[in-house]
Amino acid sequence: MKRKKQTGSPRELSFKIDRERLLEFSRISPAGRLDWLEEANRFIAQVDNGRLLKKWLAQRGGRTAA
């Protein structure tokens, strides 16, 4: 996953995901995808203690994070 150079608003983030990675993910069963998502969620919660999630939710709603 490559991070695209930021342009415009400093809140814009975008990532380029290789076609091969998308195909690999598409081959995972729905249960496997859910396991993957839950594992990623636990990792973010352990590393960030909820601050990042609050920031993401604030940005999705158009508000700035405190």
Is 65 a domain residue?
Answer: no
Asked whether residue 65 carries a pLDDT value surpassing 60, the answer given is: no
CB 28 within 8 A of CB 36: yes
Is 34 a domain residue?
Answer: yes
| Model pLDDT for residues 11-50, shown as the tens digit of each residue | 676 778 899 999 999 999 999 999 999 998 888 778 776 6
Is 13 a domain residue?
Answer: yes
pLDDT at 9: 53
- CB within 8 A of 59, min separation 6: which ones? 11, 65
Here the tokens at position 8 are: 């415009």
CB 2 within 8 A of CB 16: yes
Q: How many domains does the chain have?
A: 1
The H-assigned helical ranges of the chain are 19-26, 30-48, 51-60
Is 66 a domain residue?
Answer: no
Q: Supply the range of the domain harboring residue 27.
A: 2-60
Asked whether residue 8 carries a pLDDT value surpassing 60, the answer given is: no
Is 56 a domain residue?
Answer: yes
